[in-house]
Amino acid sequence: MHEIILNLHMHTRYSDGAGSHAELANAAMSAGLDAIIVTDHNVWVNGPAGYYKGVNRRVLLMVGEEIHDQARQPQKNHLLVFGAQRELATFAHDPQLLLDAVSRAGGLAFIAHPVDPAAPSVNQGDISWVDWNVHGFTGLELWNGFSEFKPRIQSKLHAIFYVYFPRRIARGPLPESLHRWDELLASGRRVVAIGGSDAHSNTRRLGPLRWTVFPYEFHFRTVNTHVLLPRPLGADSASDTSMILDALRQGHCFIGYDLPAPTRGFSLTAHGLQQTAQMGDELDCKGGVTLKIRLPRRTGCRLLKDGKPVRTWHDRDICTYITTEPGVYRVEVFIDYLGQRRGWIYSNPVYVV
């Protein structure tokens, strides 16, 4: 498989972000990304998608959309839509109608920041997803850079501290998001987890102070979605885009927090009697299955089955686990960074049936 680093969920000046598509592409090249998906609020911007070239680098810019009902108060239920290739914000008033429209358009739908608590100190409301009776979504944004920041800022002083020391923010997906994902998986659904940045790169003022809150390039070096492709990216942006979206649809991806150390090279594979499976795939448990985990460096990780830890390893870079039990198996990897143990990698599950 060919691994690419994708950053998704970001805003340009077409909604409430500070940059243009070309500026985002440049920031992505500086951060060493292979691809980005721009998702402006309630507008699908047709035109800027494609390869952008820099010195010795290029990046594939894809255009999706983040849709929510702007008449709803509070403005909950944000949906990331990729690959629909048309404006779908007209369906925003009804999340199920919207999901059906995405499906008809052949797109992918991910519930954005499923848990996104209020931060009264900076006048931000709770914009979690609430209509959990819907069906037909591809997955959810398990780790969102910005929702993780909100519960940390108990006061304006906390907000200023983290804006100046953003490397101290990320610790992992919110526990409620992980719990929600495990619940959905336990109900028998296939739910793909992705990590998004929700980058805006806006400038804020406090008295005489002025600063850019989390520049694009900072976000692009933090929570990424690493996608495993059947072939390397080529020359044609349209076929590369559909290959990446296919891989996301199948859950052939993991979430990597690349700031403490690159997560490139992580793998979770499952080996049965006659088949081999990777993240997102299904494998028959008859005759036993060996799960193999490869970490990009020696650290600690744990294997979860149906949301419950079944094995923990310390200071390892290769781990194996043999099972004959059906279940949803996924991996969480941790790393010590700036004096704290932090989430580093979250795999998509292998479904042993």
Q: Which residue number, 112 or 291, has a Cβ lying nearer to Zn ion?
A: 112
* Least CB distance to Zn ion at residue 17 (A): 9
Q: Which residue number, 65 or 258, has a Cβ lying nearer to Zn ion?
A: 65
- The sign of the CA dihedral 222, 59, 248, 297 is negative
Question: Is 318 in contact with 348 (CB distance < 8 Å)?
Answer: no
* Least CB distance to Zn ion at residue 9 (A): 6
* Least CB distance to Zn ion at residue 51 (A): 24
What x-and-dash track marks residues 111-140 binding Zn ion by CB under 5 A? -x----------------------------
* List 21, 78, 180, 219, residue binding Zn ion (CB under 5 A): 78
Nearest residue to Zn ion, using CB?
Answer: 78
* Least CB distance to Zn ion at residue 41 (A): 7
In this chain, which stretch among 26-34, 75-83, 228-236, 275-283 interacts with Zn ion, using CB under 5 A?
Answer: 75-83
| 3-class secondary structure, 80 | strand
* Least CB distance to Zn ion at residue 144 (A): 8
Q: List beta partners, residue 316.
A: 299
Question: Is 223 in contact with 197 (CB distance < 8 Å)?
Answer: yes
Closest CA to 258 of 292, 225, 232, 281: 225
In this chain, which stretch among 158-166, 196-204, 309-317, 318-326 interacts with Zn ion, using CB under 5 A?
Answer: 196-204
Question: Is 145 in contact with 222 (CB distance < 8 Å)?
Answer: yes
In this chain, which stretch among 28-36, 195-203, 274-282, 334-342 interacts with Zn ion, using CB under 5 A?
Answer: 195-203
Q: Which residue number, 69 or 198, has a Cβ lying nearer to Zn ion?
A: 198
Closest CA to 66 of 26, 138, 105, 8: 8
| Contacts (Cβ under 8 Å, ≥6 apart) of 236 | none
* Least CB distance to Zn ion at residue 166 (A): 17
For 205, counting Cβ atoms within 10 Å of its Cβ (0-12 exposed, 13-18 middle, 19+ buried), the class is: exposed
Q: Which residue number, 182 or 198, has a Cβ lying nearer to Zn ion?
A: 198
| 3-class secondary structure, 272 | coil
Q: How far is CA 317 from CA 2, 96, 293, in A?
A: 20, 43, 8
In this chain, which stretch among 71-79, 232-240, 288-296, 330-338 interacts with Zn ion, using CB under 5 A?
Answer: 71-79
* Least CB distance to Zn ion at residue 54 (A): 25
In this chain, which stretch among 91-99, 106-114, 117-125, 226-234 interacts with Zn ion, using CB under 5 A?
Answer: 106-114
Q: Which residue number, 66 or 69, has a Cβ lying nearer to Zn ion?
A: 66
The position carrying tokens 């279940």 is 327
- The sign of the CA dihedral 140, 223, 260, 5 is positive
* List 34, 40, 141, 198, residue binding Zn ion (CB under 5 A): 198
Count of Cβ atoms closer than 10 Å to residue 209 Cβ: 9
- Whole-number Å distance between alpha carbons of 91 and 74: 18
In this chain, which stretch among 22-30, 56-64, 70-78, 298-306 interacts with Zn ion, using CB under 5 A?
Answer: 70-78
| 3-class secondary structure, 199 | strand
Q: What tokens were used for 22?
A: 């070309």
* Least CB distance to Zn ion at residue 119 (A): 14
For the chain, first and last CA: distance in Å? Answer: 23
Number of residues engaging Zn ion in binding (CB under 5 A)? 4
Tell me: does residue 76 bind Zn ion (CB under 5 A): no
* Least CB distance to Zn ion at residue 91 (A): 17
Residues that bind Zn ion (CB under 5 A): 66, 78, 112, 198
